[in-house]
Amino acid sequence: MNDFLKTMQPEKIWHYFGEVLSIPRPSKKEEKIREYLLAFGKQHNLETETDSVGNVLIRKPATTGMENHSGVVLQAHIDMVAEKTGTSNHNFDTDPIEAHEENGWIKAKDTTLGADNGIGVAACLAVLDSNDIEHPALECLFTVDEETGLTGAFGLKGGWLKGATLLNLDSEDDGQFFIGCAGGIGTYADYTYHPEPMPVGHKIYSIQVHGLQGGHSGDDINKGRGNANQLLARFLYSFSDMLQLRLVNFNGGNLHNAIPREASAVVAIPDTKILDFEKSVIAYEKVLQNELAHADEKVRFSLSPKTAEKIFPKNEQEKLIYALCACPHGVLRMSDTMENFVETSTNLASVKTENEHVKIVTSQRSSVETAKYFAAHRVASTFKLIDAKVSHNDGYPGWNPNPESKIAQLSADTFRKLFASEPKVLAIHAGLECGLIGEKYPDMDMVSFGPTMRGVHSPDERLEIKAVERFWKLLVEILKQL
């Protein structure tokens, strides 16, 4: 499987990308890829260490003539977002990713590809395995659990890294160099309800919203894509009274950093309202297809029969629906200082009904620390109004842009010379580990770059083949110039 990657050029980076795809590595389950990295270091006689949280560090001495240059750290995270289509039987704990080439891009079959950040890992391994690349003393830092908790970056100890410069290989646009990123925080609500018996004379249905693109809750939050949780809550708000609809459960979304693509609600409809219910679903689908014609034109609603014995009490059902409709989602503020840059946003990520509780996960991002907390407080207030228990995680800091960064200037100049085109030096609304690493190593000069990817954090994830070649040439030349 994926042997075709090992015949592509540049040979080494594609070879190791194929190796990475063959190893299951969902977030928080990175044992297999960690074992692979430790074995790789031993096989290549390189100094290799792991720390208490599972990060791996592999050191390689400077090449001849560069022994007196300041050291450099290459950094990538080893976990991947585990998302798949509703029809996929893929098991992320055991199955390799099955890739294919399509119109100049590498894609996976019905799953996330894991190029985020598997191609960064592959680049590190390719450099470590090469004898013809000039570089100063090199450290490759492979961090764990970036996607769900930044656990590796949080747990990184000061003093472990020796390099003065860090190249983060976890960005997704060829020709763009990032020198800052948003900070983030998670806000969680736990709403308790008290089920009551199903009334007689009702039929049970599951109503599903699907066909949405979803995407990364940082990179894609400003693209107007539909949020399955809110679209479904909107239907329930609009038609519950007219249809005398009763709620059995609500489930949508999976990951805190992904815009939810699918959601479903099991509902009970009086026998006398079935025809009206079916007409309402059809009409509502057309409304949304019209509204989202340019951002999510494939949105669909569908029905299937179900069975159930319990429903939400009417007042508790109303509170939940009201809160899900009221909960903010999307861009809250654009930057006043950077053109077309999202300053603050929030994502209504997942809603899960289980054991008489509805558990809601949201995430907030901002490049302004105080605005990040206000966004979290807005979301918290929404759910506190229905007496849900609300909590926040510790969050993570942003990475303050340094326009005078030497490595950013060197990277941009190198790109300009190699490709005769003008690069962009930017900040990014998505979170990067650089913010946390910078807390531990405040004097380290950092930049983030990578090849072009699209649809990350969704089964539409794809990696542009020609951009990988440019990414590799750029990385090799930057190492030579350091």
Enzyme catalytic residues: 79, 146
Q: Which residues pair with 389 in a beta bridge?
A: 190
- Contact predicate 17/126, CB 8 Å: no
Q: Is 59 in a helix, a strand, or coil?
A: strand
Which residues fall within 8 angstroms of residue 131, CB to CB, at 6 or more apart?
A: none
Instruction: Give Cα 250 distance to the centre of its chain.
Output: 23
Alpha-carbon span 220 to 215, nearest angstrom:
6
- Contact predicate 436/399, CB 8 Å: no
- Contact predicate 83/97, CB 8 Å: no
- Contact predicate 473/111, CB 8 Å: no
Q: Is 145 in a helix, a strand, or coil?
A: coil
Instruction: Give Cα 397 distance to the centre of its chain.
Output: 17
Q: Which pair of structure tokens corresponds to residue 296? A: 């999510």
Burial per residue of 159-198, b for 16 or more beta-carbon CB atoms within 10 angstroms, e otherwise: eebebbbbbbbbbbbbbbbbbbbbbbbbbbbebebeeeeb
Residue 358 Cα distances to 225, 235, 353, 390, angstroms: 24, 18, 4, 12
Pairing status of strand 72-77 against strand 165-168: parallel
Alpha-carbon span 262 to 280, nearest angstrom:
19
- Contact predicate 466/8, CB 8 Å: no
Count Cβ atoms within 10 A of the Cβ of residue 152 and give its class: 0-12 exposed, 13-18 middle, 19 or more buried: buried
- Minimal CA–CA distance to 252: which of 327, 332, 150? 327
DSSP for 76-91, written as a single string? EE--B---B-TT----
Q: Phi/psi at 56 (nearest 5 deg)? A: -120, 135
- Minimal CA–CA distance to 150: which of 477, 435, 450? 435
Give start and end residues of each alpha helix (H) in 244-335: 274-291, 314-326
R_g of the chain, CA atoms, integer Å: 24
